[in-house]
Structure formats: structure tokens, C-alpha cells
A and B are shown apart, each in its own frame.
Chain A
């Protein structure tokens, strides 16, 4: 039975509205991201709406209808995926928080349906829908039918996104899904350039209209929910009102079916105990006496200082253990993995770029050899300029250990240096193979190594004196905005400044590589390259040696900046 109390709906909508507003008052970063979205996102959606409107209006049939099929399908798929990726940051979509209250299924559904109107991406969707109605309004009846079809489609879109959300509730709450979504979003954001390049190539070749017509997407898409809506509109515009109403009816039935399924799944999730994320704890029947005895054994050996070999005395073990911890984190922590992937992406772009734009002289294959150290410079900078901030809350634990700060920095540096060296090797060898520039491999490698030393040294300075807070574990698109730092524009500018400083400090290395090449006196490399290498190593050691004591002295201040939530 459909039981809906309007008063409860009003208060549920009030809750969603408050959460929406509080998001802006409590999180400054959200205000910035919203402004960013309005400045860039709104024109993007407006542009899409305008382009699709023109396509509906002015492309010849059936190309305009094919566009409609494609647009509605993309919207449908996007709305299935987007709420999943933003689940943890959108409290309004989390039904589990409302389970404590005596709300009926219908009340929950209606409130969720209206709540989606407060999602910022919905504004973009409304623009796309307006374009559909305006684009197909060849007459008043067609306009009305299109409007009704779009409203039904809206119900379908919201319904399917909520259905997927409700069906995957336990999965969404699992740590593995959260981790995966952070990495997927990072990969998606990073791959935009490549996708854009590939799409432009695909669309740019041949006659676009002919290609669209020949593809006949509608043959397959008409049997999908968005295709049904598109078919209803298409048939109405052709004057086939019978077929149009039939498709509209099917579309309505589909919408009702989706809403019904949503209700059922929701009902099941309300009555099923929550198990997501639960950890099975096995209790062993160890006697208390045995426990105390074992504790005594565990703590019986007094020596606190390593009594091992030379490596342990020299502190190399601690450096190495910290480096291993860093590598494990780069692999296991989704935020750090996303950063690592973005650093690898820089390398990939440098490698693939010349092939995407073969005519560009800057991207010539000759440039490729020298781009290797540059790519590694950016990559290593990404991983090292906020190395203490990247520890996030765990930095407290690290600072509680009686470890010399020099060892902490060296351990972290070792981890990043190894990644940089591997990237450098791959990129140098690949670029040499592609551009037949084998004679340049050794100079490039040496320069790259010197550059790594300089960049990591600069990273130690910025990490200690300009640490940035990196927020813990967010999911969805907001995670990408906070993956590297989340401490406001000033700190962002400081990072940018540090990048500039690093480039300036790096200039002797650049000069040592390019000066002999430019003046055709390559024999100078015999001196300049070892000198540059020495410069990189000495710079790193000197800077790290100077900075390390400051890290110890500034520990509380660093913690205050990096661990505040």
C-alpha cells in the first residue's frame, strides 16, 4: 500500500537541503569545487545542450534521431555510475541513516527522488533535457509528447541509479570497492586527454553524418530504456502517433518496473542486517595466565637499541624498512596508488604524445630522448614534494618512533628514487628505441639521475617547511580534487612556487646536458655530465642533512598542518 505522509516528505527534503547547504559551510574545498564546477561544468553542459539542440534541429533524419539515442543512452549510463562513485560524499543518498526512523518504503523513495534535484550534476542534466524538448518541438503535440517522454525518462534515470545503489549497498560499503573507485576515478580523469585525442580522430575522419547514419545505433538501442524514450520522440516527430504512444507506454511501464524493483531492493536492504565491512573476529581461548606469561616473555628482553650487524648500527635497516613501507603504501593505498598512476601517466603522455601529434615539431621523435628526464622530473616531483603530508594521520605514529629524522627522509627518498629510476630507465630506453637515439641514452640517464637527486632534495625542503594536508580516503570525483593536497590556494601556490624553485635549482643540470648539444661540442659531456651527477648527489645530501634537524624541531607544527581533519 502506498503510504506517504507529506509532512515526513517535507522534513526529509529539509534534511537533504540542510546537508546540501552544510556541505558548503563546513567544507571550504566544496565551495571551491562547486565554483569550479559552475565555471567549467556549466559551460560544458550548456555547450553539450547547445550542440545536441543544433544536431536535433538541423541534422537530417535519421542522423538527428541517432544522436538522440546516443545522448539518452550516455545519460542513462552516466547516472547509473555517478551515484556509485560519489556514494560516501553524498549523505542524502545513504538510506541506511534513515533506517532508524519509522518511514515507509514509499516515503523513502519519494524523498530520494526529490533529493536528486539537489545534486549539482542534475542541473547539467536538466539543460540536456531542455535541449531535447526544444530540439524536437516541431509542433505543440510533439513538444508535449517529448516533455512527457523526458519526464518519464527522468524517473527512469533516477530510479535506475537508486536501484543500482540499493542493490550494491553492501558492496559500496566495503573497503575494497572504496579503494577501487578512487583508482578508477583517477584513471578516468587521467585518461581524458587520450580519450579526447582518440575521439577527435575517430569523428574527424570521413563524413560525420554519413558515419552516424551508417552505424544505426538505434537498431540496438531502441530496446533499451533510453532507446524507448528516444523511439517515442522519433516516431512522434515522424507523425506515427500510434507507434509513439506505444513506445511511450513501454517506457512508462519500464519506469514503473524500475521504481518497483527499487522499492523491493530497498525493502530487502531495510530488513537485512548490515554485514558490509564487518570483520570476523575469532577469539582464542587462551587462559589469562598464559596470556600474561606470554606478555612477560614478549617484553622480557631489555635491549632497546639494535645489537645487530653493521647495517643495523648504521641505520640502513631503518631507512630500508621505511622505504619498504612506502612501496607497500604506494601499492596498497588507493590515494597514493592514484598519485603513482598519475606520475606514470606523465611518463606515458611523454612517450605517446609525439605519435598523437606527429606534425608538431615540439613533439618530434628527436625531442623524445630529452623528454625522458623531464617526464621523470614531474613524476618524481609529484611523489616527493609533500612526502610528510602523504603520510596523513599516520605521521603521528612515525613521529612517535625514536628514529632519526634523517633516516625518515632517506627512507622516503629511497622509495621515490627507485620509482623515478625505473621510470627513467623505461622511458630512456623506449625513447631511444623509437627515435634511434641510442648515443643519447647514457647522457640522458645521467642527467635524469642528477635531476632525481635535485628534485627529491627540493621535495625534502617543501615537505618540511611547506607540508600540506592530504585528506584521508574520499571517494568519488571529490577525491581527485584532494588526492595531492587540500590546503587551499595559498599552499597550492606555494607548491607551484616550489616547482619553479626546483626547476631553477635543476638549471645547472639542464645546462650541462643541452649546452654542449646546442653548440655541437658533445665532448664537453665527458666533464659536464659527471659534474651534473655530482651536483645532484651533493645537492640532495646537503639539503637533506640540513633539513632533517628542522623536521624534528618542527614535528608538532608539521603534525598540526598534516593531521588536522
Chain B
């Protein structure tokens, strides 16, 4: 049983959970991800500014924002790699910073910068990861082979990861993040550097996993993918969560936009980006 802290600074984006600040939530009923008053300061810069966010189980949550908005910083704090200046994060009802080992057993992480063991082969890395998650040896072998097969890495499974292409690295890192069947998967720019075929395979796997109750939290710059996959979207700008909701909800909130505005249009409106054309007359 985990008790959540007192009511945080509410904003337009605060959600249901915030309205019941002292509720006790069991791990099984707790939201998949819950961040409360999350702050991270780097020197004079507030990279993440009192961020409150709740993702329910089985959701496919897209986390968007321009470069330097604080996406990766937020994800790092959520997965226990970067200590927040203040605030708390729960994954599956477990406080990431109080019980990191238990929290890590519930999550799979695909970081933006892949820091995997390059001097192991793909197969060795998956077996290693399986053991680290405490999966029985027989299951590790089977799951590793299945994942290698699905992610079309089986032919290169015995090649060292250092010799893999960017896309192959992403796929092997994703396989390692999935091998223990996590409850929550954090993906930071999972489709960057991935070819369309692999991208499709990964998308299908993720969609399938969410249908089976796994929660996916991912950041991406590719609006089409987010639009196609996500059940809910959060937009962060300058460290603050400026909008959150389903695509339809975002459309309704963004006044002045057409009803069929794309996520890209909404995103640009929300973050205040203007399409200013420079005077490049010399190109003519």
C-alpha cells in the first residue's frame, strides 16, 4: 500500500488523482504512472517545472514537446536515472525513488541515448537482461529467441552490438526492455533512426501490448506516429505540462483551430511556434 503525498499545485492539467490527495492506492489499482510536483533545476534553469501527470493502466501515452522542453529529463526522473530536485514519481503504485528495485522490476525502458552493452552479442544481451530481471533461465532462452525473431534480429543475434546499425540497436534495446513483460514501458524517441519496416513491427508490438494491459509512455517528434498510436497525449513546453488529453480534447481546447486539425497543427499552436518565413529570395 502506498500513500500519495499532499495535494500538489493544481493546474489546468491536473487530473483526477490530484483531487483525492490522501487516497491510499494498492499497487494493483494504482495508476501506471503518477508524477507529483516534479521539479528539476539545472543551475539557473528549471528544466521541469512542477509537473503533475497521471497515466492509467493500459494507456498509450504520448509525451510531446519541442527540443529542450524537458521530455527526456522527465522520463529520466520517472525511471530513476535522474534525481528530481523535488517531487515524487510512482510507477505501478511503487515510489521510484523509495523502492527503485521494485519499481524497476515493473518497468521497461528504452532511453533516448542507448547505453547498452555493446560488447555483448544481441542474444547474450537479452539473456543477461533476462537474468537481471530474475526470469527463470528456460523462459529467458525462449523469450529471447522469440523477440529476436519478431524484431528480425535473429540472423545477427550472435554479432556484437557494437557492429549493429542504429535501428538494430534500438530493436535490441527494445527487446531487452520487453523481455520481463513489464507493466509500464518508457520509450524515449523510439522511432528515431528506425527504418519503416522495423518501425511498423515495433508499433504493432506496442499496440498489442497496450491491448493486453501494458502501459506505454513514449516521447516522439514524429506526430503522425503519436497521432496514430496514442490514446492520450501530454505536451510539455519549457518544463511545464501545457496541455493534456485525448486528441479530440486537445482539438476542443485549441480555440480557433479547425475540427480536423492534425496533431502537428495543435502542437504548434499549443507551444506557440510560429511559421516565420525568412527572406531567402536569393534561392530563387
Contact = CB atoms under 8 A, between A and B. Distances in A.
Contacts of A318: 131-132, 134
Contacts of B155: 282, 284
- Counting chain B CB atoms within 10 Å of each CB, the highest count among A292, A295, A302, A556 belongs to A295
B221 interface: no
Contacts of A288: 200-201, 204
A318 to B, nearest CB: 6
B134 A296 contact: no
Nearest to A320: B131
Interface stretch (B116-124, B243-251, B276-284): B116-124
Interface in A287-306: 288, 291-292, 294-306
Nearest to A282: B155
A312 B138 CA distance: 12
Interface in A386-407: 393-404
Interface stretch (B15-23, B26-34, B163-171, B234-242): B163-171
Given A286-B150, A307-B136, A281 B165 contact: yes
A284 B151 CA distance: 9
B38 interface: no
Interface string A315-347: 001100100010011001100000000000000
Contact of B168 (A281, A308, A329, A401): A281
B135 A306 contact: yes
Given A299-B181, A394-B118, A305 B134 contact: yes
Contact of A325 (B102, B109, B128, B181): B128
Size band of the B side of the interface?
A: 35 or more
B135 A279 contact: no
A555 interface: yes
Interface in B58-74: none
A479 B109 CA distance: 31
B139 A301 contact: yes
A559 interface: yes
B274 interface: no
A292 B162 CA distance: 27
A312 B137 CA distance: 9
Interface string B200-226: 110011001100100000000000000
B132 A306 contact: no
Contact of A302 (B79, B109, B181): B181
A402 B115 contact: no
B80 interface: yes
Interface stretch (B5-13, B46-54, B141-149, B259-267): B141-149
A556 B129 CA distance: 20
A397 B115 CA distance: 6
Nearest to B82: A556
Nearest to A299: B181
A377 B152 CA distance: 47
B136 A308 contact: yes
Contacts of A301: 139, 143, 181
A401 B129 contact: yes
Interface in B101-128: 101-105, 109, 111, 113, 115-120, 124, 127-128
B83 to A, nearest CB: 4
Most buried by B among A328, A399, A400, A559: A400
Nearest to B209: A299
A272 B124 CA distance: 35
A92 B155 CA distance: 38
Contact of A400 (B79, B119, B168): B79
B153 to A, nearest CB: 9
B115 A403 contact: no
Contacts of A321: 127-128, 131-132
Contacts of B41: none
A557 interface: yes
A555 B80 contact: yes
A96 to B, nearest CB: 18
B146 A298 contact: yes
Interface string B167-188: 1100000001011110000000
B4 interface: no
A561 to B, nearest CB: 13
B154 interface: yes
A332 B132 contact: no
B194 to A, nearest CB: 12
A397 B117 contact: yes
B67 to A, nearest CB: 18
Nearest to B130: A321
Interface string A435-459: 0000000000000000000000000
B120 A395 contact: no
Contacts of B179: 298
Contacts of B119: 328-329, 332-333
A60 B47 CA distance: 74
Contact of A291 (B116, B142, B201): B201
Interface string A550-565: 0010011101000100
Interface in A521-565: 552, 555-557, 559, 563
B154 A325 contact: no
A298 B147 CA distance: 6
Given A303-B139, A328-B120, 8 more contacts: A279-B168, A281-B165, A284-B155, A299-B143, A303-B135, A306-B136, A333-B119, A400-B104
Interface of B: 79-83, 100-105, 109, 111, 113, 115-120, 124, 127-129, 131-137, 139, 142-143, 146-147, 149-150, 152, 154-156, 159-160, 162-165, 167-168, 176, 178-181, 197, 200-201, 204-205, 208-209, 212
17 contacts: A279-B159, A291-B204, A292-B204, A295-B178, A295-B209, A298-B143, A299-B181, A301-B143, A303-B135, A304-B105, A304-B180, A305-B105, A312-B136, A318-B131, A325-B128, A399-B81, A401-B129
4 nearest CB pairs, A to B: A401-B132, A402-B105, A298-B146, A402-B104
